[in-house]
Amino acid sequence: MENITNNLTYLIPEIIIIALGFIIIGIGIFTRIRNKFILPFASITGLIFTAIYITFFFDIGNIHILSTTDHNQMKDLFIYGGLLKLDSFSLLFKFIFIILGIFVILMSIDYVDKHVNHEGEFYGLIILSIAGMMIMSAANELLTAYIGLELLSFSLYILVSLGNDPEKTNESSIKYILLGGFTSALVLYGISQIYTELVKNDIVNPTFFSSIGIYATQYETFPPLFMFGLFLLITGLGFKIAAAPFHTWAPDIYEGAPLPIAGYLATASKLAGIALILRIFSEIFEGSHSSLVIIVAILAILTMSIGNITAIAQTKYRRLIAYSGISHMGYILVGLATNTVDSYTAIILHSIGYAFSGLVIFGVLICFYNQTNKENINDLSGLYKTNSFLAVSITIALLSTAGLPFFVGFISKFYLFLAAVEQDLLWLVIIALINSLISLYYYLMVIKEMYVNEPDDVLAISTNNIEKLVLITSLIGVIGLGIYPDIIMDAINSASISVFIR
């Protein structure tokens, strides 16, 4: 505690972002601004400033997000007695969260203008949730992680309910807050179980991830109490990333929430869950626990298959994307079951690629919805004729998520599956490959709708410059990383090494 002021400098990004969030909410409540651009651009300026600060001026020893770091020379920085851990993993994820936040805010501008009444709260809460995610990615201890998780979740509960069409939003926001609250309670209970078990074994700092690691190495098979706590924890985290069988909220909430928030749930919020899962599981898997591998593998199979098979039957594009997102978490879980440095690298790469293509998909759908108010997949018919740019963008994103080459989805899946095969998980990979094929089928149905079928109205759909900017930038991410992924591999490598090897 003596160097609290020292430690404070390490929290500058979070402090800036939380302050920014309150300022934006304040402006929204206490002033009457009629220009739709002021609040989002104020938010984005703040976020860009923070991103630049993290990238270039954030001095935490020799860890740097853009540089190659030899792990032997890397020293991780623990602050506040080890509650938070600043390493290249948390830095990378903080950076990604801010970027995703910027994109989501940019995509929201028109939507908020048309469909949301509380601008200030909307943008302010997005920013606050970014702070929550940043804490999650840096947390080194269960309760800190829980605080970050709750900061994120509470922001999202409100964001989901902010649409001005009560018929739709009421159902989804109530569902989300009830289910979310319930799983929160389960997580807390799980943490208490784990805490009890660790205290019984005289382990100091019983909530620290590293203590769980120490505990895990002591046992060949876990005692039931610990297993129970762990199970509850997995439930909570599985809920966050919408892994089956904890996934059923996702399609309903995506359907009722404001569309940009659905996009935010699908990209940033899931990535935060993944970050936390990687942190916790790298410790729990410390000892080789084959029973845990089996549990994760079963979850992976369920998630992939339920997601993909249910997606085929969907008629609304939001639900389709929700299920396709669920299936993607299944691939991530394949990587988790593999549990090697390579698989962690692959998971991070895959999540980044998934986030970029998710941004494109939601960007296009937001544009489309803003101008047509239509929600069915067959309303997309002839999109190529009404706006070819949107159609091409979403096609690229869909093909990338289906794992076809030229796009990041191919190399990230290849990496993920290769890592799994290296650990003798070929059977799991085969199931994942079959699932990719299924997903290709329903993506092709969407693509066919857009290119082959004729549009219902000949009304042209327009895109403004901001939307073009967002889409083109994310497309550059999707295609650029597909053509030459090596450019971000340094950052990802040091992140996965720092979380896996410690």
As measured in angstroms, the least distance from the Cβ of 451 to other proteins is 5
Contact 213, 269 (CB under 8 A): no
> Looking at the chain, how many residues does it have?
502
CA dist 46 and 52 (Å) reads 10
- The dihedral over CA atoms of 255, 261, 263, 268, expressed in degrees to the nearest 10, equals -140
Q: Would you call 243 helix, strand, or coil by DSSP?
A: coil
Candidates 274, 251, 442, 260; CA nearest to 353 is 274
Cis peptide before 224 (omega within 30 of 0): no
Q: Which is nearer to other proteins, 23 or 404 (CB)?
A: 404
71 binds other proteins (CB under 8 A): no
CA dist 272 and 97 (Å) reads 8
Candidates 323, 301, 304, 306; CA nearest to 314 is 323
Per-residue tokens: 389: 């740019």
As measured in angstroms, the least distance from the Cβ of 54 to other proteins is 24
Q: Which is nearer to other proteins, 169 or 381 (CB)?
A: 381
Q: Which of 97, 111, 369, 415 binds other proteins (CB under 8 A)?
A: 415
Q: What is the DSSP letter of 266?
A: I
Candidates 282, 436, 295; CA nearest to 344 is 282
As measured in angstroms, the least distance from the Cβ of 418 to other proteins is 5
342 binds other proteins (CB under 8 A): yes
Q: What mask, x for binding other proteins by CB under 8 A, covers residues 241 to 280?
A: ----------------------------------------
88 binds other proteins (CB under 8 A): no
* Contacting range for other proteins; rule: CB under 8 A; set: 140-148, 204-212, 245-253, 425-433: 425-433
Contact 300, 234 (CB under 8 A): no
Q: Which of 19, 291, 414, 462 binds other proteins (CB under 8 A)?
A: 414
Q: Which of 39, 408, 411, 461 binds other proteins (CB under 8 A)?
A: 411
Candidates 71, 77, 175, 163; CA nearest to 113 is 163
**Cβ atoms within 10 Å, residue 254:** 27
As measured in angstroms, the least distance from the Cβ of 484 to other proteins is 7
CA dist 472 and 222 (Å) reads 49
Q: Which of 246, 417, 442, 500 binds other proteins (CB under 8 A)?
A: 417
Per-residue tokens: 312: 């085929």
Q: Which is nearer to other proteins, 77 or 421 (CB)?
A: 421
Which residues inside 373-392 make contact with other proteins, applying CB under 8 A? 388
As measured in angstroms, the least distance from the Cβ of 330 to other proteins is 16
CA dist 367 and 369 (Å) reads 6
* Contacting range for other proteins; rule: CB under 8 A; set: 23-31, 263-271, 319-327, 414-422: 414-422
User: 231: part of which helix (H) or strand (E)?
Assistant: helix 224-240
Q: Which of 169, 235, 282, 345 binds other proteins (CB under 8 A)?
A: 345
**Residue that is written with structure tokens 């290119």 in the block:** 451
As measured in angstroms, the least distance from the Cβ of 411 to other proteins is 7
CA dist 375 and 383 (Å) reads 13
501 binds other proteins (CB under 8 A): no
Per-residue tokens: 23: 């300022």
Q: Which is nearer to other proteins, 249 or 417 (CB)?
A: 417
Q: Which of 147, 174, 309, 418 binds other proteins (CB under 8 A)?
A: 418
Q: Which of 135, 399, 428, 499 binds other proteins (CB under 8 A)?
A: 399
Which residues inside 431-490 make contact with other proteins, applying CB under 8 A? 433-434, 436-437, 440-441, 444, 447-448, 451-452, 484-486, 489
- The dihedral over CA atoms of 79, 11, 96, 273, expressed in degrees to the nearest 10, equals 60
Q: Which is nearer to other proteins, 252 or 490 (CB)?
A: 490
CA dist 479 and 407 (Å) reads 5
182 binds other proteins (CB under 8 A): no
Which chain residues interact with other proteins by CB under 8 A? 342, 345, 388, 399, 404-406, 410-411, 414-415, 417-418, 421-422, 426, 429-430, 433-434, 436-437, 440-441, 444, 447-448, 451-452, 484-486, 489, 493
